[in-house]
A and B are shown apart, each in its own frame.
Chain A
Amino acid sequence: MNRSVLFIGILIAAALVVILFVGLGKDPAAIRSPLIGKPAPDFALREVGTGRTIDIAQYRGKPLVINFWATWCGPCWEEHPVLVANARALQPDVQFLGVVFQDTEEKILGFLQQRGTAYPTVVDDRGKTAIAYGVGGVPETYFLDASGKIVAKYSGPMSGDIIQANLQKVLRP
């Protein structure tokens, strides 16, 4: 076989192996958001059930976990009890907040009444808040530190360990 052809073939194969090695080694759910390290976009939305306005600025001073979800999302059903259990265990040191989009208030209320909750849930009517946070699909969760800066983002349903690991990043001095 021609040596130059063999050399080019080896070069291409090596490049592919490196790309696959780097790509497959990453956790696809741990998304590197351009918002990480920046102040979280401000919002004040209507709480499901009470109708009162919840402004995220009121939670400054302690870590905040913002979970984007919807009742039509299967993995969100799976994640909900994990979030509720962690919120119960960690409040009042850590605040949890649910943001629902592309959904109806009636369905959200039914879901929460049936499955229980331990933290407020607000409605993002036209998805503007989700877009500003760069939400690609639900569930997606953002971890904010006490100053309101986004420290981590997780895409997909979380286990208790994943929540703890991300909160460690928030609490790390």
Chain B
Amino acid sequence: MILLVLLLSLKVPDAEQFVGSPKGTPLTGQQLYTRTHEVASLLRCPVCQGMAVADSPSEMAINMKEQVRELLARGYTEEQILQYFELSYGQFVLLKPKFEGVNALVWLLPLIALVIGGTIVAFKIRSLAAQPQPGPVGAPPPDADPYVARVRDLVSGEKK
């Protein structure tokens, strides 16, 4: 009886005080198992090197995954669960950074680099194409070179 009273007096922080009441449908069985893995795959394990909560064997990640499972079973949506973890850990915990603020650079910089790189390559190709091609087609006639003409004259003079 005393143990029961003690257990009832214990209180841990609940998602409700952070993100409100569940907005989805409580999940059970196989669907709960699959969704737990999917949502845990979107969260970064805080004690690992770039590993998802779903894949990490660390105790911290196991606890976080268990919490994801519990929240899904209570009817919390993926968005609410990610928001709950983000409120505690910041955007660091999201494996897919949000398109906002400085994080937008993560998405935009590769595109900007691609556009700049593509433009440089296109300009280079155009300038190379505009240059005169060496070879017989564009070469000046041999007589135009006074040195060649003199050699030719000398050679023809000897033959005579």
Chain A interface residues toward B at CB < 8 A: 4, 32-35, 41-46, 51-53, 55, 102, 124, 126-137
Contacts and interface: CB of A to CB of B under 8 A. Distances in A.
Interface in B65-97: 66-67, 85-90, 93
**Among B10, B17, B67, B90: residue with most chain A CB under 10 A:** B10
15 contacts: A4-B120, A35-B87, A41-B17, A42-B11, A42-B17, A45-B10, A45-B11, A45-B12, A55-B9, A126-B63, A126-B66, A133-B13, A133-B88, A134-B90, A135-B46
Interface of B: 6, 9-13, 17-18, 46-47, 59-60, 63-64, 66-67, 85-90, 93, 120
B13 A33 contact: no
Contacts of A52: 6
Contact of A127 (B60, B86, B89, B93): B60
A126 B47 CA distance: 16
Given A53-B6, A131-B63, A44 B11 contact: yes
Contacts of A33: 90
Contacts of A53: 6, 9-10
A71 B160 CA distance: 109
A56 B9 CA distance: 13
A132 B46 contact: no
B67 A131 contact: yes
B13 A42 contact: yes
B86 A136 contact: no
A106 to B, nearest CB: 17
A30 to B, nearest CB: 14
Contacts of B18: 41, 132
Contact of A51 (B6, B17, B67, B89): B6
A131 B88 contact: yes
A51 B6 CA distance: 8
A128 B63 contact: yes
A63 B88 CA distance: 21
B120 to A, nearest CB: 8
Given A42-B13, A53-B6, 11 more contacts: A42-B11, A43-B11, A43-B13, A44-B10, A45-B10, A126-B66, A127-B59, A132-B12, A133-B88, A134-B46, A134-B90
